[in-house]
Amino acid sequence: MRSVQEIDMAGKRVFVRVDYNLPMDEQGKITDDNRIRQTLDLIAYLQDQQAKIILASHLGRPKSGYEKKFSLAPVAEHLSALLKKKVMFASDCIGSPVTDQVTAMKNGDILLLENLRFHKEEKSNDPGFARKLAGLCDVYVNNAFAVSHREQASVTGMVAHVPEAGAGFLLEREMNAYADAFENPKRPLVAVIGGAKVSSKLAALENMLNTVDQMIIGGAMANTFLLSQGIDTKASLIEPDLKDTAARILNKAQEKRIAVHLPEDLVVADSFAQTAQTKTVALNAVPDGWMIMDIGPKTAETFMRNLAGAKTIVWNGPMGVFEMPGFMAGTCAVARGIADADAFSFVGGGDTGLAARQCNVFDQVSYVSTGGGAFLHLMEGKPLPGVVALG
Protein backbone atom coordinates (compact mmCIF):
# COMPACT_ATOMS: atom_id res chain seq x y z
CA MET A 1 0.00 0.00 0.00
CA ARG A 2 1.08 3.54 -0.68
CA SER A 3 1.05 5.56 2.51
CA VAL A 4 -0.77 8.87 2.78
CA GLN A 5 2.58 10.34 3.82
CA GLU A 6 3.97 9.66 0.34
CA ILE A 7 1.46 11.98 -1.31
CA ASP A 8 1.68 15.75 -1.58
CA MET A 9 -1.56 17.00 -0.02
CA ALA A 10 -1.05 20.78 -0.02
CA GLY A 11 -4.13 22.55 -1.35
CA LYS A 12 -5.66 19.30 -2.63
CA ARG A 13 -9.17 17.98 -2.08
CA VAL A 14 -8.66 14.80 -0.10
CA PHE A 15 -11.52 12.29 0.12
CA VAL A 16 -11.08 10.19 3.26
CA ARG A 17 -13.20 7.06 3.61
CA VAL A 18 -13.66 6.66 7.36
CA ASP A 19 -15.80 4.30 9.41
CA TYR A 20 -18.11 6.40 11.54
CA ASN A 21 -20.68 3.63 11.88
CA LEU A 22 -21.19 4.47 15.54
CA PRO A 23 -23.61 3.24 18.19
CA MET A 24 -26.22 5.84 19.11
CA ASP A 25 -29.06 5.96 21.62
CA GLU A 26 -32.67 6.78 20.78
CA GLN A 27 -31.96 10.50 21.11
CA GLY A 28 -29.22 10.30 18.48
CA LYS A 29 -26.42 10.66 21.05
CA ILE A 30 -23.20 8.78 20.31
CA THR A 31 -22.55 6.17 23.01
CA ASP A 32 -19.04 5.09 21.91
CA ASP A 33 -16.82 7.42 19.86
CA ASN A 34 -13.74 5.17 19.61
CA ARG A 35 -14.00 4.95 15.82
CA ILE A 36 -13.93 8.75 15.57
CA ARG A 37 -10.96 9.04 17.91
CA GLN A 38 -9.05 6.49 15.83
CA THR A 39 -9.14 8.96 12.91
CA LEU A 40 -8.07 12.13 14.72
CA ASP A 41 -4.36 11.64 14.03
CA LEU A 42 -4.94 11.48 10.28
CA ILE A 43 -7.21 14.53 10.32
CA ALA A 44 -4.57 16.49 12.25
CA TYR A 45 -1.91 15.40 9.77
CA LEU A 46 -4.01 16.47 6.77
CA GLN A 47 -4.70 19.81 8.40
CA ASP A 48 -0.96 20.34 8.92
CA GLN A 49 -0.49 19.49 5.23
CA GLN A 50 -3.01 22.20 4.29
CA ALA A 51 -5.37 19.76 2.62
CA LYS A 52 -9.09 20.24 2.08
CA ILE A 53 -10.51 17.28 4.00
CA ILE A 54 -13.67 15.54 2.79
CA LEU A 55 -14.81 12.79 5.17
CA ALA A 56 -17.21 10.08 4.01
CA SER A 57 -18.82 7.18 5.87
CA HIS A 58 -21.91 5.04 6.20
CA LEU A 59 -24.04 4.62 9.30
CA GLY A 60 -26.34 1.68 9.92
CA ARG A 61 -28.42 -0.02 7.26
CA PRO A 62 -30.92 2.46 5.82
CA LYS A 63 -33.53 0.77 3.64
CA SER A 64 -34.12 3.41 0.99
CA GLY A 65 -33.06 7.03 0.87
CA TYR A 66 -32.78 9.44 3.77
CA GLU A 67 -33.65 8.26 7.28
CA LYS A 68 -33.05 10.74 10.08
CA LYS A 69 -31.91 8.10 12.58
CA PHE A 70 -29.05 7.19 10.23
CA SER A 71 -27.96 10.76 9.50
CA LEU A 72 -24.31 11.63 10.17
CA ALA A 73 -25.22 15.14 11.32
CA PRO A 74 -24.66 14.25 15.03
CA VAL A 75 -21.24 12.88 14.08
CA ALA A 76 -20.25 16.20 12.54
CA GLU A 77 -21.20 17.95 15.79
CA HIS A 78 -19.30 15.45 17.92
CA LEU A 79 -16.22 15.65 15.70
CA SER A 80 -16.34 19.46 15.89
CA ALA A 81 -16.27 19.23 19.69
CA LEU A 82 -13.32 16.82 19.67
CA LEU A 83 -11.31 18.92 17.22
CA LYS A 84 -12.39 22.27 18.68
CA LYS A 85 -12.93 23.29 15.07
CA LYS A 86 -16.08 23.61 13.01
CA VAL A 87 -16.72 20.56 10.86
CA MET A 88 -19.00 21.48 7.97
CA PHE A 89 -21.76 19.06 7.04
CA ALA A 90 -23.19 18.26 3.62
CA SER A 91 -26.81 17.16 3.38
CA ASP A 92 -25.88 14.62 0.69
CA CYS A 93 -22.73 12.97 -0.65
CA ILE A 94 -23.17 13.80 -4.34
CA GLY A 95 -24.92 16.50 -6.36
CA SER A 96 -24.46 20.18 -7.16
CA PRO A 97 -24.89 21.52 -3.59
CA VAL A 98 -22.15 19.19 -2.37
CA THR A 99 -19.88 20.14 -5.26
CA ASP A 100 -20.44 23.81 -4.44
CA GLN A 101 -19.50 23.20 -0.79
CA VAL A 102 -16.31 21.43 -1.82
CA THR A 103 -15.40 24.21 -4.26
CA ALA A 104 -15.77 26.78 -1.48
CA MET A 105 -13.46 24.91 0.90
CA LYS A 106 -10.21 26.49 2.07
CA ASN A 107 -7.03 24.68 3.04
CA GLY A 108 -7.52 22.95 6.41
CA ASP A 109 -11.31 22.94 6.16
CA ILE A 110 -13.21 19.74 7.04
CA LEU A 111 -16.45 18.62 5.40
CA LEU A 112 -18.37 15.51 6.43
CA LEU A 113 -20.66 14.10 3.75
CA GLU A 114 -24.06 12.64 4.55
CA ASN A 115 -24.47 8.86 4.87
CA LEU A 116 -23.19 7.15 1.73
CA ARG A 117 -25.74 4.36 2.08
CA PHE A 118 -28.64 6.73 1.56
CA HIS A 119 -27.77 5.88 -2.06
CA LYS A 120 -28.24 2.18 -2.87
CA GLU A 121 -25.52 2.58 -5.49
CA GLU A 122 -22.91 2.68 -2.69
CA LYS A 123 -23.39 -0.94 -1.67
CA SER A 124 -23.88 -2.14 -5.25
CA ASN A 125 -20.60 -0.48 -6.25
CA ASP A 126 -22.31 1.36 -9.09
CA PRO A 127 -19.67 2.76 -11.51
CA GLY A 128 -21.57 6.00 -12.13
CA PHE A 129 -21.94 6.69 -8.41
CA ALA A 130 -18.27 5.88 -7.89
CA ARG A 131 -17.27 8.40 -10.56
CA LYS A 132 -19.44 11.08 -8.95
CA LEU A 133 -17.68 10.54 -5.61
CA ALA A 134 -14.31 10.59 -7.33
CA GLY A 135 -15.19 13.90 -8.95
CA LEU A 136 -15.15 15.55 -5.53
CA CYS A 137 -11.45 15.00 -4.94
CA ASP A 138 -7.85 14.99 -6.11
CA VAL A 139 -6.68 12.33 -3.65
CA TYR A 140 -8.41 9.28 -2.16
CA VAL A 141 -7.43 7.93 1.27
CA ASN A 142 -8.79 4.70 2.75
CA ASN A 143 -8.81 4.98 6.53
CA ALA A 144 -11.71 2.55 7.06
CA PHE A 145 -10.33 -0.90 7.78
CA ALA A 146 -13.72 -2.07 9.04
CA VAL A 147 -15.27 -1.89 5.55
CA SER A 148 -12.20 -2.79 3.50
CA HIS A 149 -13.52 -6.30 2.92
CA ARG A 150 -16.44 -4.79 0.97
CA GLU A 151 -16.61 -4.19 -2.78
CA GLN A 152 -18.41 -0.86 -2.56
CA ALA A 153 -18.25 2.43 -4.43
CA SER A 154 -16.44 4.41 -1.74
CA VAL A 155 -14.12 1.51 -0.85
CA THR A 156 -13.00 0.15 -4.22
CA GLY A 157 -15.07 1.60 -7.06
CA MET A 158 -13.94 5.22 -6.96
CA VAL A 159 -10.22 4.50 -6.54
CA ALA A 160 -9.64 3.94 -10.26
CA HIS A 161 -11.08 7.39 -11.02
CA VAL A 162 -8.85 9.53 -8.78
CA PRO A 163 -5.33 10.76 -9.66
CA GLU A 164 -3.75 9.50 -6.43
CA ALA A 165 -4.70 7.09 -3.64
CA GLY A 166 -3.15 5.88 -0.41
CA ALA A 167 -3.70 4.29 2.99
CA GLY A 168 -4.52 6.27 6.11
CA PHE A 169 -2.85 5.78 9.46
CA LEU A 170 -5.59 3.55 10.90
CA LEU A 171 -5.55 1.20 7.92
CA GLU A 172 -1.76 1.02 8.17
CA ARG A 173 -1.97 0.19 11.89
CA GLU A 174 -4.47 -2.57 11.26
CA MET A 175 -2.44 -4.18 8.48
CA ASN A 176 0.80 -3.93 10.46
CA ALA A 177 -0.87 -5.59 13.46
CA TYR A 178 -2.12 -8.37 11.20
CA ALA A 179 1.37 -8.88 9.80
CA ASP A 180 2.85 -9.07 13.30
CA ALA A 181 0.23 -11.64 14.31
CA PHE A 182 0.05 -13.87 11.24
CA GLU A 183 2.84 -13.21 8.77
CA ASN A 184 5.81 -12.80 11.11
CA PRO A 185 4.58 -14.00 14.51
CA LYS A 186 6.73 -14.70 17.53
CA ARG A 187 6.02 -18.26 18.59
CA PRO A 188 4.20 -19.99 20.01
CA LEU A 189 1.16 -18.44 18.30
CA VAL A 190 -2.10 -19.21 20.08
CA ALA A 191 -5.51 -18.50 18.53
CA VAL A 192 -8.48 -18.02 20.87
CA ILE A 193 -11.70 -18.52 18.94
CA GLY A 194 -15.21 -18.15 20.35
CA GLY A 195 -18.57 -16.74 19.42
CA ALA A 196 -21.83 -18.34 18.42
CA LYS A 197 -21.35 -20.31 15.21
CA VAL A 198 -18.78 -22.56 13.58
CA SER A 199 -20.28 -21.68 10.19
CA SER A 200 -19.30 -18.01 10.51
CA LYS A 201 -15.68 -18.89 11.25
CA LEU A 202 -15.19 -22.18 9.40
CA ALA A 203 -12.88 -20.73 6.74
CA ALA A 204 -10.87 -18.89 9.40
CA LEU A 205 -10.49 -22.04 11.52
CA GLU A 206 -9.25 -24.07 8.56
CA ASN A 207 -6.86 -21.36 7.40
CA MET A 208 -5.40 -20.88 10.88
CA LEU A 209 -4.36 -24.52 10.96
CA ASN A 210 -1.64 -23.44 8.52
CA THR A 211 -0.28 -20.88 10.96
CA VAL A 212 -1.04 -21.43 14.65
CA ASP A 213 0.74 -23.59 17.21
CA GLN A 214 -2.27 -23.95 19.53
CA MET A 215 -5.98 -23.24 19.30
CA ILE A 216 -8.40 -22.52 22.13
CA ILE A 217 -12.09 -22.91 21.24
CA GLY A 218 -14.91 -21.62 23.44
CA GLY A 219 -18.27 -19.96 23.13
CA ALA A 220 -21.32 -21.59 21.62
CA MET A 221 -19.24 -22.71 18.64
CA ALA A 222 -17.39 -25.08 20.99
CA ASN A 223 -20.69 -26.92 21.48
CA THR A 224 -20.54 -28.26 17.94
CA PHE A 225 -16.98 -29.46 18.52
CA LEU A 226 -18.08 -31.15 21.75
CA LEU A 227 -20.96 -32.77 19.86
CA SER A 228 -18.45 -34.13 17.33
CA GLN A 229 -16.68 -35.83 20.25
CA GLY A 230 -19.85 -37.51 21.44
CA ILE A 231 -20.78 -34.97 24.15
CA ASP A 232 -24.53 -34.46 24.60
CA THR A 233 -25.06 -30.69 24.80
CA LYS A 234 -28.83 -31.02 25.38
CA ALA A 235 -30.65 -27.71 24.68
CA SER A 236 -27.47 -25.76 23.82
CA LEU A 237 -26.99 -23.85 20.60
CA ILE A 238 -25.34 -26.21 18.12
CA GLU A 239 -24.93 -26.69 14.36
CA PRO A 240 -25.49 -30.44 13.94
CA ASP A 241 -24.89 -30.29 10.19
CA LEU A 242 -21.31 -29.17 10.93
CA LYS A 243 -20.55 -31.96 13.40
CA ASP A 244 -18.47 -33.89 10.84
CA THR A 245 -16.72 -30.70 9.76
CA ALA A 246 -15.74 -29.99 13.35
CA ALA A 247 -14.39 -33.53 13.71
CA ARG A 248 -12.39 -33.08 10.49
CA ILE A 249 -10.83 -29.85 11.81
CA LEU A 250 -9.83 -31.61 15.04
CA ASN A 251 -8.34 -34.51 13.09
CA LYS A 252 -6.42 -32.18 10.80
CA ALA A 253 -5.06 -30.31 13.82
CA GLN A 254 -3.93 -33.60 15.35
CA GLU A 255 -2.16 -34.53 12.10
CA LYS A 256 -0.35 -31.19 12.17
CA ARG A 257 0.42 -31.62 15.89
CA ILE A 258 -1.53 -28.49 16.77
CA ALA A 259 -3.01 -28.69 20.25
CA VAL A 260 -6.71 -27.79 20.31
CA HIS A 261 -8.16 -27.00 23.73
CA LEU A 262 -11.90 -27.47 24.22
CA PRO A 263 -13.97 -26.86 27.37
CA GLU A 264 -13.52 -29.34 30.24
CA ASP A 265 -16.40 -28.10 32.38
CA LEU A 266 -19.40 -25.92 31.65
CA VAL A 267 -21.65 -23.29 33.17
CA VAL A 268 -25.21 -24.23 32.24
CA ALA A 269 -28.62 -22.63 32.74
CA ASP A 270 -32.23 -23.74 32.59
CA SER A 271 -33.14 -20.81 30.33
CA PHE A 272 -31.49 -18.13 28.21
CA ALA A 273 -31.85 -15.39 30.81
CA GLN A 274 -29.82 -13.55 33.43
CA THR A 275 -32.30 -14.75 36.06
CA ALA A 276 -31.98 -18.42 35.07
CA GLN A 277 -31.00 -21.14 37.49
CA THR A 278 -27.35 -22.04 36.86
CA LYS A 279 -24.78 -24.64 37.84
CA THR A 280 -21.30 -25.79 36.82
CA VAL A 281 -21.18 -29.31 35.40
CA ALA A 282 -18.70 -31.74 33.87
CA LEU A 283 -18.86 -32.70 30.22
CA ASN A 284 -21.75 -35.03 29.43
CA ALA A 285 -23.53 -33.86 32.59
CA VAL A 286 -25.73 -31.11 31.10
CA PRO A 287 -29.25 -31.64 32.54
CA ASP A 288 -32.11 -32.28 30.14
CA GLY A 289 -33.52 -29.01 28.80
CA TRP A 290 -30.54 -26.96 30.03
CA MET A 291 -28.08 -25.06 27.87
CA ILE A 292 -24.38 -24.19 27.95
CA MET A 293 -23.85 -20.48 28.67
CA ASP A 294 -20.15 -20.20 29.53
CA ILE A 295 -16.97 -22.17 30.05
CA GLY A 296 -16.46 -23.46 33.57
CA PRO A 297 -13.74 -22.40 36.06
CA LYS A 298 -11.59 -25.48 35.41
CA THR A 299 -11.65 -24.72 31.69
CA ALA A 300 -10.79 -21.08 32.34
CA GLU A 301 -7.75 -22.13 34.37
CA THR A 302 -6.56 -24.49 31.63
CA PHE A 303 -7.05 -21.86 28.93
CA MET A 304 -5.17 -19.25 30.98
CA ARG A 305 -2.32 -21.68 31.61
CA ASN A 306 -1.91 -22.27 27.87
CA LEU A 307 -2.02 -18.54 27.18
CA ALA A 308 0.75 -17.85 29.69
CA GLY A 309 3.40 -19.38 27.46
CA ALA A 310 2.30 -17.70 24.23
CA LYS A 311 4.35 -15.07 22.43
CA THR A 312 1.58 -14.11 19.98
CA ILE A 313 -2.15 -14.34 20.69
CA VAL A 314 -5.03 -13.76 18.26
CA TRP A 315 -8.45 -13.52 19.92
CA ASN A 316 -11.79 -13.48 18.12
CA GLY A 317 -15.03 -14.27 19.90
CA PRO A 318 -16.22 -14.46 23.54
CA MET A 319 -16.22 -17.65 25.61
CA GLY A 320 -19.88 -17.41 26.56
CA VAL A 321 -22.91 -15.15 26.76
CA PHE A 322 -20.79 -12.33 28.16
CA GLU A 323 -23.54 -9.77 27.56
CA MET A 324 -25.26 -11.19 30.67
CA PRO A 325 -23.19 -10.45 33.80
CA GLY A 326 -23.85 -13.91 35.19
CA PHE A 327 -22.14 -15.54 32.23
CA MET A 328 -19.13 -13.31 31.58
CA ALA A 329 -16.67 -14.94 34.03
CA GLY A 330 -15.18 -17.28 31.43
CA THR A 331 -14.68 -14.56 28.85
CA CYS A 332 -13.11 -12.22 31.41
CA ALA A 333 -10.79 -14.93 32.75
CA VAL A 334 -9.50 -15.58 29.23
CA ALA A 335 -9.29 -11.82 28.55
CA ARG A 336 -7.17 -11.43 31.69
CA GLY A 337 -4.97 -14.32 30.58
CA ILE A 338 -4.42 -12.63 27.24
CA ALA A 339 -3.63 -9.28 28.84
CA ASP A 340 -1.21 -10.81 31.36
CA ALA A 341 0.71 -12.91 28.83
CA ASP A 342 4.13 -11.70 27.69
CA ALA A 343 2.89 -11.72 24.12
CA PHE A 344 1.75 -9.56 21.21
CA SER A 345 -2.05 -9.75 21.45
CA PHE A 346 -4.23 -8.94 18.44
CA VAL A 347 -7.91 -8.70 19.36
CA GLY A 348 -10.70 -8.87 16.78
CA GLY A 349 -13.27 -6.12 16.58
CA GLY A 350 -17.03 -6.25 17.13
CA ASP A 351 -18.12 -8.33 20.12
CA THR A 352 -14.52 -9.23 20.97
CA GLY A 353 -13.49 -5.60 21.32
CA LEU A 354 -16.60 -4.96 23.42
CA ALA A 355 -15.72 -7.94 25.62
CA ALA A 356 -12.17 -6.61 26.07
CA ARG A 357 -13.63 -3.30 27.21
CA GLN A 358 -16.18 -4.85 29.57
CA CYS A 359 -13.49 -7.09 31.08
CA ASN A 360 -11.25 -4.04 31.62
CA VAL A 361 -8.35 -5.22 29.43
CA PHE A 362 -8.98 -2.98 26.41
CA ASP A 363 -5.96 -0.81 27.20
CA GLN A 364 -3.79 -3.73 28.28
CA VAL A 365 -3.75 -5.81 25.10
CA SER A 366 -1.44 -4.91 22.23
CA TYR A 367 -3.99 -4.03 19.57
CA VAL A 368 -7.79 -4.05 19.31
CA SER A 369 -9.01 -4.08 15.73
CA THR A 370 -11.75 -1.69 14.64
CA GLY A 371 -13.31 -4.19 12.26
CA GLY A 372 -15.00 -7.50 12.99
CA GLY A 373 -15.82 -8.61 9.44
CA ALA A 374 -12.57 -7.33 7.96
CA PHE A 375 -10.60 -8.96 10.78
CA LEU A 376 -12.30 -12.31 10.09
CA HIS A 377 -11.68 -11.85 6.35
CA LEU A 378 -7.95 -11.62 7.03
CA MET A 379 -8.08 -14.63 9.33
CA GLU A 380 -9.56 -16.58 6.43
CA GLY A 381 -6.43 -15.78 4.45
CA LYS A 382 -8.26 -13.55 1.97
CA PRO A 383 -6.97 -10.20 0.68
CA LEU A 384 -9.03 -7.12 1.50
CA PRO A 385 -10.51 -5.58 -1.69
CA GLY A 386 -10.12 -2.07 -0.23
CA VAL A 387 -6.40 -2.68 0.27
CA VAL A 388 -5.95 -4.36 -3.09
CA ALA A 389 -7.53 -1.32 -4.78
CA LEU A 390 -4.79 0.88 -3.36
CA GLY A 391 -2.11 -1.25 -5.00
Q: Pick out the residues of the known binding site for ATP.
A: 201, 323, 349-352
What is the 8-class DSSP label of residue 37?
A: H
Give the burial string for 307-319 (b: 16+ CB within 10 Å, else e).
beebebbbbbbbb
197 is catalytic: yes
Residue 66 · residue 76 · CB < 8 Å: no
Nearest to 193 by CA among 57, 334, 296: 334
Q: Pick out the residues of the known binding site.
A: 19-21, 35, 58-61, 117, 150, 201, 323, 349-352
Nearest to 330 by CA among 365, 372, 359, 360: 359
CA separation, residue 209 to residues 49, 204, 305, 373, 374 (Å)? 45, 9, 21, 20, 19
DSSP H/E element including 180? none
Query: Exactly one of 157, 166, 194, 350 is catalytic; which is it?
Result: 350
157 is catalytic: no
Peptide bond into 188 cis (omega under 30): yes
Query: Exactly one of 108, 135, 373, 381 is catalytic; which is it?
Result: 373
243 is catalytic: no
Residue 91 · residue 97 · CB < 8 Å: yes
Query: CB within 8 A of 342, min separation 6: which ones?
Result: 311
Q: Pick out the residues of the known binding site for (2R)-3-phosphoglycerate.
A: 35, 117, 150
Strands of the sheet with 139-142, listed across from one edge: 88-89, 110-112, 52-56, 13-17, 139-142, 164-167
Query: Exactly one of 13, 17, 35, 52 is catalytic; which is it?
Result: 35
Query: Exactly one of 131, 197, 298, 336 is catalytic; which is it?
Result: 197
Q: Pick out the residues of the known binding site for substrate.
A: 19-21, 35, 58-61, 117, 150
Nearest to 38 by CA among 52, 18, 14: 18
Residues with a known catalytic role: 35, 197, 350, 373
